[in-house]
A and B are shown apart, each in its own frame.
Chain A
Amino acid sequence: MNERLFSGTFAIFCFILRRDRLRAPLWLFALTATSLAVALSFVDLYASAEERQAVAQTMVNPATTALIGQGHGLDDYTYGAMLAHQMLGMTALTAGVMSILLVIRHTRAQEEDGQLELLGALPVGRLAVPGAALLYVSGLNILIALFTGAGLTVLQLESITAGSSFLYGAAIGTAGIFFAALTLFVSQAAESSRGALGLSVTGLVAFYGLRAVGDTVNETFLYATPFGWLQEMQVYVEDHALYLFLPVAAAVIFAFSALQLHRRRDAGAGMLPARAGRRDGGRFLTSVFSLVFRLQRTSWMFWALGMILLGAVYGSVLSETETFFAEVEIIQVLIAAEGDTALIDQFLAMFMSVLAVAASIPTLLSLLRLKSEEKRGRLEALYTLPVPRLRVYGVYVATGMITSIIMLTAAAAGLWGAAAVTMEESFTFGAVFTAALVFVPALAVMLGLAALILGVSPALSPLIWVYLLYGYIVIYMGELFQFPDGMDYTTPYGYVPEYPAEDVAALPLVGMVTAAVIFAALGAWLYRRRDLD
């Protein structure tokens, strides 16, 4: 790779900085502030060493281990050990999400929107765009590492020392850089930015799942995933800084290979060669619905596969939970104290809520294609045909609903399959399926809200992701950090009956469906009335 391939990188880098002058500081703030806020909250929540040890006790069970990792230093659960155990994996995961979104935004998505064609005509090297994107995202991750390290140091908390804090920051930053390089690499194989996003997110989830499997089933898996490497650094406990080289080395390899591949690729095409396709519409492509189905079927397949895998991870965790509780008598006493609902039922319900949040992602993505179709000017073609706006809107909402059912079913199938294989006394498929499908109304509410937002203005659509992230934090982390109970009710997921631990109550489900219908109808009313971009 010679210099000319990279000429213009700096100019594009500056262009990216201008485009992201708001976005980048927001990510930096969000990722840094979470660790700091949680570290501070520990001091309030657990003042004494005894209290911290008590928390450590509750953390030692396969479910929690699968969710956040086995952790280190649980026998001396200092603030630092707590932070590394409860926050490092999650924050690294979020940094991974950030890196994926930003790399795709500044490479493939830009390519599709045609901005790259403009640049391609200027004296810009073949690798300037991916080079600049990588430079930018890596730089942002390094800033996150430094700010996190410095911020934690400044807090001056007991056991949160400067050296360990910078290692903690570095662990997050290198994870981010790893996923930036991985994204650039896998997106060479994808045909579209959406495909690239699907592949990268699948990779991210798979690596996180691998860590969960490594922590609960077989430790060897820990060495095959960056989340395992981070955990093995044992930040604030042993501080094995040498582990930092693993994600960095992997990132360098991915980045180098990606750039090599990119050099050979035509703008807008994947590495997979294009075959001659149909010369006419065939029998299938006759309506808006068949068009939308045709556009989404590939991503459905990928996401359904991902949901099956994720379900299977939780299914195998469930069996570990079963064995665990059989062995620990004290907890059996606790179960008795809790009433007659088995703890395992509660875990199933809890895992389902996490899977439901995950299933919301493809569901919302499916609907939000209505926005990207509009932004890319493809709706214009439909709306200048005798196609009513409400038909297109309705087809997208319906497709979103179908997606939610497919994804929840896939997750249930994965979970049930893995549980059936590994558990002694497993659930019936009917029970798992019901536990999953009770979430359909909650996903419908999310979908209705997203549809309403699209009716107002497509530019506001990121709001729904903020709300989903909020729901995820409340559902997933709320259990750990003992958020006040009422907070559950600020997200639709909180209204869903915890089947099979609870009975299926009709009222909240009917209420949610009604709310979803009202949101979607209001959105439709607004959508019909607004200008198309």
Chain B
Amino acid sequence: MLEMKGVKKTFGDFHALSGVDLDVKPGEVFGFIGPNGAGKSTTIRVLLGLMKADAGSAEIFGQDVWRDAVEIHRRIAYVPGDVNLWPNLTGGEVIDLFGRLRGGFSKEKRDELIERFQFDPTKKCRTYSKGNRQKVALIAAFASNADLYILDEPTSGLDPLMEQTFQACVAEARAAGKSVLLSSHILSEVEKLCDRVAIIRAGEVIEQGTLSEMRHLTRTQVTVETATPLTGLAEFSGVYDLTESGAQTSFQVDTEKLSSVMAHLAEFDIMQLNSAPPALEDLFMQHYDTKEGGKTHE
């Protein structure tokens, strides 16, 4: 469906992408996460044929994203994070223009979406807020019969209610067998919607897989109360942030070391044990905190 291999892109002597591999399978919702400036939008602009990759290959539907851009675009729909529209056209005019230029556009679907997103299409685009401009692009995208949706932080201007509507639209698209590439920094959204995710940092994909695969790489937060004083935990590798207060001890443990740590705890008579499942949020933070080391982001 969508395959990217070793894609590189430099701006002057700045390496925006240094070898990005992505692989989106038919019928899946694929999350693409990373901090600002990591290269998410640049990757997507290469995929859309707006920029030419310096190296590597990128294909959608088995066609080259640069050479066959027009062919590919018949079957994809794109929603950017920052939607720029013509100030003197109304939202309704733009939605129809996009629909007609793409082809395969359903008026019923459009009206239904306008309703669901509570959007007023009679205003000039100049008067729309950021969220409303995003609605224009979202309505045009979901009213099309695209096979692949490429969404680049599409909800950054939407309020929580509209975000739910958006999530419902993505879920429906998936149920209809479509694929979605969703770039986002809202992790709860990605957690809720995505089958697989890729994490990009400084132009490199550093992690890619299903959410459960990724959870293996995370730490679990454990709080434990034991009858006999707990000792020896500090010697374990994979245990972090150890704090004690009275009989209560809390720490983080690499999920893969969890069972051996549990065996150790059992020797001290567990009275109470609490463990929080690893959230994607932690995964995310972990990558920025530890892997980035002293390198700060501006």
Contacts and interface: CB of A to CB of B under 8 A. Distances in A.
B70 A387 contact: yes
A112 B92 CA distance: 21
B84 A276 contact: no
Interface string A367-392: 00000000011101111111110000
Contact of B50 (A280, A286, A531): A531
Interface stretch (A123-131, A288-296, A308-316, A425-433): A288-296
A381 B49 CA distance: 12
Contacts of A282: 93, 96
Contact of A376 (B45, B69, B84, B121): B84
Contact of A384 (B50, B71, B93): B50
Interface in A262-287: 268-269, 274, 276-282, 285-287
Contacts of A279: 90, 92, 121-122
Interface in A160-207: 191-192
A54 interface: no
Interface stretch (B20-28, B74-82, B157-165, B268-276): B74-82
A295 B122 CA distance: 17
B127 interface: yes
A532 interface: yes
B222 interface: no
Contacts of B102: 385-386
Interface residues of A, number: 36
Interface in B98-148: 98-103, 121-124, 126-127, 137
Nearest to B89: A294
A195 B289 CA distance: 50
Nearest to B11: A531
A280 B48 contact: no
A378 B78 CA distance: 13
B287 interface: no
Interface string B146-174: 00000000000000000000000000000
A381 B84 contact: yes
A37 B180 CA distance: 65
B101 A383 contact: no
A386 B49 CA distance: 11
Chain A CB within 10 Å — which of B92, B96, B101 has the most? B101
A387 B76 CA distance: 12
A192 B88 CA distance: 9
A287 B103 CA distance: 11
B52 A386 contact: no
Nearest to A277: B90
Given A269-B127, A280-B121, A378-B86, A387 B101 contact: yes
Contacts of B103: 386
A380 B80 contact: yes
Interface string B200-213: 00000000000000
Chain B CB within 10 Å — which of A191, A277, A282, A287 has the most? A277
Nearest to A531: B51
Given A380-B80, A532-B51, A278 B100 contact: no
Size class of B's contact patch?
A: 35 or more
Contacts of B71: 386
Nearest to B52: A531
A278 B97 contact: no
Given A276-B123, A277-B124, A286-B100, A378 B93 contact: no
A289 to B, nearest CB: 11
A380 B83 CA distance: 9
B122 A276 contact: yes
Given A278-B93, A286-B100, A288-B101, A295 B80 contact: no
B37 interface: no
B85 interface: yes
Contact of B100 (A191, A281, A378): A281
Interface in B213-246: none
B87 A285 contact: no
Contacts of B97: 281, 285-286, 291
B73 interface: yes
B116 to A, nearest CB: 16
Nearest to B150: A384
B88 A295 contact: yes
Contact of B73 (A268, A274, A386, A531): A386
Contacts of B84: 376-378, 380-381
B281 to A, nearest CB: 27
B50 A277 contact: no
Contacts of B127: 268-269, 274
A381 B50 CA distance: 10
Contacts of B69: 383
Contacts of B73: 383-387
Contacts of B50: 380, 383-384, 531-532
Contacts of B122: 276-279
A275 B65 CA distance: 41
Interface string B8-50: 0000000000000000000000000000000000000100111
Given A287-B100, A380-B84, 6 more contacts: A191-B87, A268-B127, A277-B93, A278-B93, A285-B93, A532-B50
Interface of A: 112, 191-192, 268-269, 274, 276-282, 285-288, 291, 294-295, 298, 376-378, 380-388, 529, 531-532
13 contacts: A277-B124, A278-B90, A279-B92, A282-B93, A285-B100, A291-B86, A298-B88, A380-B80, A380-B84, A381-B85, A381-B98, A384-B78, A386-B71
**Shortest 4 CB-CB contacts between residues of A and residues of B:** A281-B96, A377-B84, A277-B90, A384-B78
